[in-house]
Structure 1
Amino acid sequence: MRYLLTLHMNPTLWATLTDEQKNGVYEGHGAFIKLVTESGEMVETKALAEPAETTTVQVKDGVAHTKTGGFVESDAFLCGYYIVDVESEARAVELAAKIPDAQYTAVEVRKIVHEG
């Protein structure tokens, strides 16, 4: 079963971390990638740009309208994800707990129900 593990960034919280804590997060991602690659559970990972570099498109009455920024107005934003192929939801949750961001913000575990 494939699961999407989403990472969310809160810039206000990130700004309170020490350089040592930030480096721990970066190094933790390297260790996590190694773990799921060696176990054969890694499918894909991507880091995403901040909302200021995002264009949101919404169609109203057949006309596309765009705005700079994310769809949801929030302090936190989707900053990246992992897709893992695991035996169970319990394993996906176990892996999500190993992602360093989980120490500071939540990591969402969502089953992928369709792939095109």
Structure 2
Amino acid sequence: MTINLGAEISRRRREQKLTQEDLAELSDLSVNFISRLERTKDQNISIQKLDSIARALNTTTPDIINNAYRSKPVKSSEVSLDSTPVFVKKVANELRKLPKDKAERMCKAFIILLKEVN
């Protein structure tokens, strides 16, 4: 039995209404890498890159691997209840890139701003 991680990643990405560009940005990988991974059956991917993709898709690496082996895929919505909008994921991704203290200050400022708008 062969495993096609790219097909599973593509299926999950489409279910979450993400483009390849969105997934690339959320996982800090290139669009070319995501595209090649999804369209080829012969993948060579490091566990670190697969972990990054899994986090961007709000799942786990073992879940992607296990689901890629299944004959009938499990929908992401059956596995994860996360329906976070793409722009919120992008903000969270950018915050993860900051040093912890700076990210914390940004979050506090954002919360204050949200409270003022409401």
- Structure with the bigger RCO (C-alpha within 8 Å, sep 6+) is 1
TM-score, length-scaled by structure 2 = 0.27
- Name whichever structure is richer in helix by fraction: 2
TM-score, length-scaled by structure 1 = 0.27
- Name whichever structure is richer in strand by fraction: 1
